[in-house]
Amino acid sequence: MSILKNIQKRKTFAIISHPDAGKTTLTEKLLLYSGAIQIAGAVKSNKIRKTAASDFLEIEKQRGISVATSVLSFDYKDAIINLLDTPGHKDFAEDTYRTLTAVDSVTLVIDSVKGVEEQTEKLMQVCRMRNTPVIVFINKLDREGKEPIELLDELEQKLNIHVRPLSWPMGMGLSFRGVYNIYKNSFAFFHSNKQQVEEEVRVFNSIDDPELHEMFGDAAEKLKHDVDLVKGVYGEFNIEKYRHGTQAPVFFGSALNNFGVKELLDTFIEIAPSPVPRETTKGFVNPDNKNFSGFVFKIHANIDPKHRDRIAFLRVCSGKFERNKFYHHVRLKRSLKFSSPATFMGKTKSIVDDAYAGDVIGLYDSSTFKIGDTLTEGEEFMFKGVPSFSPEIFRELRNTDPFKSKQLEKGINHLTDEGLAQLFTQNQGNRKVIGVVGELQFDVIKFRLLHEFGASCEFISYLSYKACWVKYENENEIESLKSLWSNNLFLDKNKNLVYIAESPYTLQRAKEKNPKAQFLFSIEHNDHTLEMDKVA
């Protein structure tokens, strides 16, 4: 099969949601329908355990399979699907933001009872920045929740995107009977089955099917009325608008009971985009470019604690990746080859001989990679769009066991390389400040340092308002900053100058005193500022 045909078969997407909207359940049911697993619960029960940590870390339960795998690769019909699982918890939002740089589309899960929640809005903002195509799955129709029309209005108002329902529920809560597939003009009546795909499914080929109306009576009449109303209000579905991120198809269902999941999956593989061109520091690279290229968007250490391994997850952006072939590490200007590139499915890890644009592979890494690194076949460019955001909470790192200083140094470097937190150093590294998005990250860091690296520490409160990357042409432009706020200046891991302001007032004063310098709330990992950066 040609490279182009292989690429066109790939569908790479992420499932995102506010915590508890049903993301993990939907992920599992998609695997169930694909045949990747045979019974619900298989992914959870196979979850890779990391020492005794899983009993302690509630975040592992909240993040589900993403802690262990990040990526689930499986086949469905004629498509090869790469599903990137993202943490729903807001304290790990930056990990999700980076994951969104590696996908071509997104499925957003909404709780029909709670509607659009705060974290949903933040995640959608990131999708809109890149015009990422979004499919919405409104979940938990087996419960009494908001009316479908009310939910659609809420989606448009809060997420600032036009919606177009492609399925519609019959009933809600105890009266929920199934989902009409508007896109295919068919209605499937399911018996609830939480663990397996129901084989005895009654499918009606049209909303006007007399047997449908005979079986459901008034409910069928209401369904027909609702669907006619939807078609009149929302117009036609436009696949190009969806792929350009301006129209979001909406599906209804209950992932727990398998209602509406097949409609979502079948339509997804038909309309979701195959790999798209990616922007680099030297223009766009097309996926069907014959030369391989890709970038690292996630690093995870100690997936298997017995081997102390570290895996860099790489999104293939163009061409074909081949096992044991030398590739150019752009930042290090070195040639590397990989003997054991892997794909993941739950606990199962499979060595692959090749991978194509759209695929996500795990590369065993001995501290060679940083997030944002690019591999090519010799070309000198870096992929753009892998961000670092200004953290919201800061703590000073203190070593509580002087005999384990080297272990602490190694551990904190490993964990910040993963993107779990950001490290800012001062005085040749003697003073270290850790910046995170949420408090929970400090608990995870402390626990992993102790159990994976044998290092103990404590985090001391640090007076702070915001961290800003400082951009300047020459030292004269930041003379006042260095003289008046030297105690607030740090270096990040890439040796970029960072100013940690104590308050909005001190930040404003620093700007006024250093008018030629730029104070940025985010930069890219390859140090090219994003278009979406906001100057502080």
Are residues 336 and 253 both part of a single domain? no
* Position with higher pLDDT, 178 vs 486: 486
Considering the domain boundaries, does residue 83 fall inside one? no
Please give the span between the terminal C-alpha atoms of the chain, in angstroms, as a whole number. Answer: 50
**pLDDT greater than 60 at residue 520:** yes
Regarding whether 199 and 333 lie in a shared domain, the answer is no
Q: Quick one: 7 and 131 in the same domain?
A: yes
Among 339, 356, 376, identify where a domain stops. 376
Backbone φ and ψ of 31, nearest 5°: -65, -35
pLDDT tens track for 332-366: 999 999 999 998 765 567 899 999 999 999 999 88
pLDDT band at 531; cut points 50, 70, 90: very low
**157 and 267 together in one domain:** yes
User: Is 82 part of any domain?
Assistant: no
120 found inside a domain: yes
* Domain count within the chain: 3
Q: Which two tokens stand for residue 430?
A: 């003697």
Strands (E), 342-493: 342-345, 348-351, 354-356, 360-364, 374-376, 387-389, 393-399, 422-426, 431-436, 457-461, 466-471, 489-491
Lowest mean pLDDT among 9-18, 306-315, 352-361: 306-315
Q: What is the pLDDT of residues 416-431, one digit of tens each?
A: 888 878 999 997 778 9
Tell me, yes or no, whether 225 and 303 share the same domain. Answer: no
The answer to the question of residue 402 being in a domain is: yes
> Are 177 and 263 contained in the same domain?
yes
**Of the residues 215, 244, 271, the one at which a domain ends:** 271
Together in a domain, 402 and 450: yes
Residue 52's pLDDT is: 28
In this prediction, residues 112-123 reach a mean pLDDT of 89
**What CATH number is given to the structural domain containing 311?**
2.40.30.10
Q: Are residue 243 and residue 287 in the same domain, yes or no? A: no
Residue 535 has pLDDT above 70, yes or no: no
More confident residue, 436 or 64: 436
Helix (H) or strand (E) holding 220: helix 218-234
**Is the domain of 372 the same as that of 396?**
no
Q: Is residue 533 part of a domain?
A: no
* 97 within a domain of the structure (yes/no): no
User: Residue 223 forms beta bridges with which residues?
Assistant: none
Mean pLDDT over all residues of the chain? 85
Q: In this predicted model, what pLDDT tens digit does every residue of 252-268 receive, in sequence order?
A: 999 988 889 989 999 99
Which of 76-80's residues contact partners 24+ apart within 8 Å by CB, and which partners? Answer: 76/33, 76/34, 76/35, 76/265, 76/269, 77/269, 78/9, 78/269, 79/9, 79/10, 79/11, 79/269, 80/9, 80/10, 80/11, 80/358, 80/359
Q: Is residue 429, in this structure, part of any structural domain at all?
A: yes
As a whole number of angstroms, the distance between CA 86 and CA 14 comes to: 7
User: What CATH number does the domain containing 429 carry?
Assistant: 3.30.70.3280
Residue showing tokens 């690019």:
374
Whether residue 532 is contained in a domain is answered as no
Q: What is the CA radius of gyration of the chain?
A: 25
Report the distance separating Cα 51 and Cα 452, nearest Å.
9
Is 289 in the same domain as 265? no
Range with the poorest average pLDDT among 98-102, 408-412, 433-437, 511-515:
98-102
Domain residue limits at 495: 387-524
Q: Are residues 131 and 177 in the same domain?
A: yes
State which of 3-7, 307-311, 508-512 shows the largest mean pLDDT. 508-512
Which of 352, 376, 400 marks a domain boundary? 376
Report the distance separating Cα 321 and Cα 75, nearest Å: 19
- CATH code, domain carrying 267: 3.40.50.300
